Amino acid sequence: MKKNNFGLIGKTLAHSISDVLHQEIMKEAGIKGSYGMFEVQPENLEKVIASMRVLNLAGLNVTIPYKQDIMRYLDKIDQKAIEIGAVNTITLKENKAIGTNTDYDGFKLCLDKAGISISKNGFTLLGAGGAAKAVIKVLQDEKASKITLISRNPDKTKLEYPDFEVLAYEEIDEIKDKYCLINCTPVGTYPNIEECPIKKEAIKKYSNVVDLIYNPQKTKLLKLADEYGINNINGLYMLIGQALKAQEIWASKQNVDVNDKTSLVDKIYEDIILKFNL
């Protein structure tokens, strides 16, 4: 079996666990290859695709702040990524750089693991930046009854999302359908683990809470959800899901089947929690 090399590009990768995560997936799925970490300065982003060819990289993941900027340098972008407006996975196929978005698949897996259904239910998103893009697309595709965006700059957000209800943080109590609250902001990420994006009282009427943060495993927001007995989940399943989907795309070139996700996802989740003491 041909050995393929993959990697992650971003500006600052010191706290990323992507290399360990992908190496775990590759080991468990029998995928031959390596996964490296490549910090890229903005002025060098345009050289990334040429570097893939020189270094014989079959695929790359893309993290902040380049998920949108990288799009202009690709040969082809699939429809899903175009509609989301961001690429997080690049495949080099027949010397062409093809972009897609597997954050979409990761978020769907995250909700499935938590038993959260989308159709005909209302969702409140804290933050409307880059992390929210794939989330919004999933909710739209799966027919959420309402999507409300909570923003620190509602006027600007309304220009980007004119078809959605956009509220300021102090207006969150006006929301009627409180099926699921999703934190798409970095508030509460290690080391600022005592921070919470909203007040405690605003959480208690929700049926489900999702925090895209995975470090710590239980953010302040999720601890408050626990206090109220609210079903909740962190973002580690989303991270694993997007990585697994990327490996599926890359492994198709090696005729490797990594579609038996359930046991693989749970094993990797437990391994990552233990390795990084999340």
What is the residue whose two structure tokens read 């809470």?
Answer: 209
On whether 81 is known to bind a ligand per the annotation, the reply is: no
**Which of the residues 67, 108, 137, 178 is marked catalytic?**
67
On whether 235 is known to bind a ligand per the annotation, the reply is: yes
On whether 85 is known to bind a ligand per the annotation, the reply is: no
Amino acid identity of residue 7, one-letter, is G
Residues linked to residue 231 through DSSP beta bridges, in sequence order: 208
Taking residue 77's Cβ as centre, other Cβ atoms within 10 Å add up to 20
On whether 127 is known to bind a ligand per the annotation, the reply is: yes
Q: Looking at 11-121, which runs of residues are DSSP E strands?
A: 33-39, 57-62, 76-77, 89-93, 96-100
Q: Is 264 helix (H, G, I), strand (E, B) or coil?
A: helix
On whether 242 is known to bind a ligand per the annotation, the reply is: yes
On whether 88 is known to bind a ligand per the annotation, the reply is: yes
Whether 67 is catalytic is yes
CB burial of 109-132 (b: ≥16 within 10 Å; e: otherwise) equals: bbbebbebebeebbbbbbbbebbb
On whether 128 is known to bind a ligand per the annotation, the reply is: yes
Q: Is 228 helix (H, G, I), strand (E, B) or coil?
A: coil
Q: Looking at 103-179, which runs of residues are DSSP E strands?
A: 122-126, 146-151, 165-168
On whether 229 is known to bind a ligand per the annotation, the reply is: no
Tell me how far apart the alpha carbons of residues 66 and 51 are, in angstroms, rounded to a whole number: 16
Give the closest residue to 133 by CA, choosing from 168, 85, 200: 85
On whether 179 is known to bind a ligand per the annotation, the reply is: no
In the sheet that holds 165-168, the strands lie side by side as 165-168, 146-151, 122-126, 180-183, 208-211, 231-233
On whether 34 is known to bind a ligand per the annotation, the reply is: no
On whether 140 is known to bind a ligand per the annotation, the reply is: no
On whether 18 is known to bind a ligand per the annotation, the reply is: yes
On whether 234 is known to bind a ligand per the annotation, the reply is: no
Pick out the residues of the known binding site for shikimate.
Answer: 16-18, 63, 88, 103, 214, 242
Pick out the residues of the known binding site for NADP(+).
Answer: 127-131, 212, 235
Active site (catalytic) residues: 67
